[in-house]
Structure 1
């Protein structure tokens, strides 16, 4: 169900640098100092997103981001203390410690709320909202889980159930780094209803736009549901990634090429995909919510769209939405906004377009009479005359 990001294992700094060079990056990367951590040294996304500037205001404290995914390894050194007790809506498949458990979800959680590790937290992945908390909800299995096909057929309610559970257990933002853009993909009423439930409760919903740009380029759900912040992927130059689905529902874009992904096996990966882009956008939404907690989901979406960098010609296109997110600018704009209702209240008419009718006579004791006794009697007499006349006319016509 999920468009899984590309992943290439790189356990050492030398191998990671060689991998990026072989991948054809146009940006020349200098070798990091011997004491530097390769994961941190090669994480270009935080600089592109002006994270340090945003962190002068907030790092996401007080905000809970639900990661609906393959599970999250809360013991990972980059996430210790950040992961809340969660829910497994699947109920079978790989277990903790298996190679096919929680890899994708752990990577997304670290992009959102990773705090690094080691002396001064200078090693590992630093998330875009490092003081936010992660609420893990397992709704899908890893691609390589032997039971994944069974999960598709027997637990189709896992995603909508997981969304509702996350809302009811304190989520402020929901990250959906998953989707269905297959040939049979179509909106599912239960998923749409669950997302609208989240939005009605004031919870921001973010989803990956899809990884079908190189193929059929079909719409992906849940990204295409109303109210969702659908996130496309861009590279380090702000250019649309060829694999990123370009469709009408794209809201914004975020880094999704050659980003550093944390794994439960304590290895870091060079990854790609709109999954990562969605995680960065969810972290940005957490920063916005932390700066102004009372903003509605629609306002959070709007402020992320309005403050993007590298805006396309005309202000928006299907490749990148309104452009790559700028969390620092979004946080600054959010602090100036006045919170609005979750669902806008329809404006009352300024004038009465039809004058009131005549005041009715006093009603009968049983409340059923709307006309005065005199008027009713007159109507009754007139009716009797008309009935008699119609009978006489019918009789004469019949004789004729």
Structure 2
């Protein structure tokens, strides 16, 4: 998790909020102004080609689990879209220091905006999806983080299993650079295997110490997890984005506007935001092509990229910059009878830095078997559900 860096946009939003409190503007007018400014600052909508993707689906009938600091479902851009799960941190909510980072990530996944025609506020990548909030870690500002590893006692592993058992088809884990782990754990790796075996797609941030130690970060490094790095609006790799051989793709992660507390927005940088957006793309694919296996959802995201690096892969860009419209196009092809050759096995999660431990070798074999089995199932039970299209440039219903 990277602490958001404040921008002029955030100052403008704060001034609008302050003016409403001082009676210089009505709360409704301030909300409209803040919502309009937040929407105007969402440069990732064009970069990810979301309007084209939304002609196919907006993420209907998909539940995305957000394993984070908790999600505040009372934010106007998320109201009605959040299902509250357990707090697995054991820390409680004393002092109200919770839900800021998780709410921001949820808004980038499933924010639906607000106001007349939902023309203001944050639009997530899959605005019709539902979010399952599971608190597995603490905020950066929570003083208890310094006393113990945030989300200790296998909170992440328990959260993954809880999400799967509650029907989550996509699991978003923006836990890089501080709230994740540098070593990993057997319980977490087994939970990831459990999720993939049950058809869930897992996405995680690659980490934010690319300018310093560039450490291997978990859960991004587990086999079967889609690891996501960050780029700016010019497709330049963010300096803080970790460079590792397990990286899948990169996505917008600089100057990203997202929901904050009630009636507020924040602007920040980090691979957390990039991972949340890719989780949203996974939700779009799952909505349009529900029979695709986690392996094929990943392939669609990796093959459906822009600015592909020379040679097709690099440790900085992975397979390229995520593109929702292209990913859906590849997913349509993968859901059909003709499928392209498989990607190298290491890009589905194997750690190329050394020989895999016994448990990792088993999961790679299991993932291959699962992919083959589900591919056969796709040929027999192909379902191409499409959402009702909405006009380009409008807002989701």
> TM class by shorter-chain length?
0.7 to 0.9
How many residues end up aligned between the 2 structures?
328
- The reply on whether 1:195 has 2:192 as its aligned counterpart is yes
CA contact under 8 A between 2:2 and 2:269: conserved in structure 1?
no
CA contact under 8 A between 1:111 and 1:276: conserved in structure 2?
yes
In the alignment, the residues of structure 2 paired with residue 284 and residue 12 of structure 1 have an alpha-carbon distance, to the nearest angstrom, of 30
Look up the match of 1:61: 60
Q: How does 1:371-382 map to 2 (within 5 A)?
A: none
Look up the match of 1:381: none
In the alignment, the residues of structure 1 paired with residue 252 and residue 57 of structure 2 have an alpha-carbon distance, to the nearest angstrom, of 21
In the alignment, the residues of structure 1 paired with residue 152 and residue 247 of structure 2 have an alpha-carbon distance, to the nearest angstrom, of 28
| 1:270 CA displacement | 1.6
| 1:94 CA displacement | 3.1
Of 330, 334, 341, the match for 2:327 = 330
Of 107, 130, 150, the match for 1:110 = 107
Look up the match of 1:89: 88
Look up the match of 2:318: 321
In the alignment, the residues of structure 2 paired with residue 257 and residue 205 of structure 1 have an alpha-carbon distance, to the nearest angstrom, of 22
Give the direction of change, closer, same or farther, for the CA distance of 1:150–1:13 in structure 2 (3 Å limit). closer
- The reply on whether 1:223 has 2:251 as its aligned counterpart is no
Compare relative contact order (CA 8 Å, sep 6+) and give the higher one, 1 or 2.
Answer: 2
| 1:156 CA displacement | 2.8
In the alignment, the residues of structure 2 paired with residue 315 and residue 219 of structure 1 have an alpha-carbon distance, to the nearest angstrom, of 22
CA contact under 8 A between 2:74 and 2:262: conserved in structure 1?
no
- The reply on whether 1:287 has 2:315 as its aligned counterpart is no
Look up the match of 2:127: 130
Look up the match of 1:374: none
In the alignment, the residues of structure 2 paired with residue 251 and residue 345 of structure 1 have an alpha-carbon distance, to the nearest angstrom, of 23
In the alignment, the residues of structure 2 paired with residue 317 and residue 158 of structure 1 have an alpha-carbon distance, to the nearest angstrom, of 32
TM, length-normalised to structure 1: 0.77
Look up the match of 2:137: 140
| 1:183 CA displacement | 12
Give the direction of change, closer, same or farther, for the CA distance of 1:220–1:141 in structure 2 (3 Å limit). same
Gaps of 5+ in 2: 17-31, 340-368, 375-397
- The reply on whether 1:253 has 2:281 as its aligned counterpart is no
Q: What do the CA deviations read for 1:265-291 (whole angstroms, capped 9, x no partner)?
A: 422122110000000000000001111
Look up the match of 2:171: 174
- The reply on whether 1:342 has 2:342 as its aligned counterpart is no
| 1:146 CA displacement | 2.1
| 1:306 CA displacement | 0.5
Look up the match of 2:263: 266
Of 214, 238, 241, the match for 2:238 = 241
| 1:86 CA displacement | 1.3
CA contact under 8 A between 2:3 and 2:268: conserved in structure 1?
no
CA RMSD of aligned residues (A): 2.6
Look up the match of 1:10: 10
Give the secondary structure class of the aligned counterpart of 1:104.
helix
Q: What do the CA deviations read for 1:41-63 (whole angstroms, capped 9, x no partner)?
A: 11100111000000001000001
| 1:11 CA displacement | 4.8
CA contact under 8 A between 1:115 and 1:121: conserved in structure 2?
yes
Q: What do the CA deviations read for 1:190-214 (whole angstroms, capped 9, x no partner)?
A: 1111011100000000000000111
Look up the match of 1:308: 305
Gaps of 5+ in 1: 17-32, 347-400
In the alignment, the residues of structure 1 paired with residue 257 and residue 150 of structure 2 have an alpha-carbon distance, to the nearest angstrom, of 33
Give the secondary structure class of the aligned counterpart of 1:10.
helix
In the alignment, the residues of structure 2 paired with residue 317 and residue 269 of structure 1 have an alpha-carbon distance, to the nearest angstrom, of 31
Give the direction of change, closer, same or farther, for the CA distance of 1:102–1:277 in structure 2 (3 Å limit). same
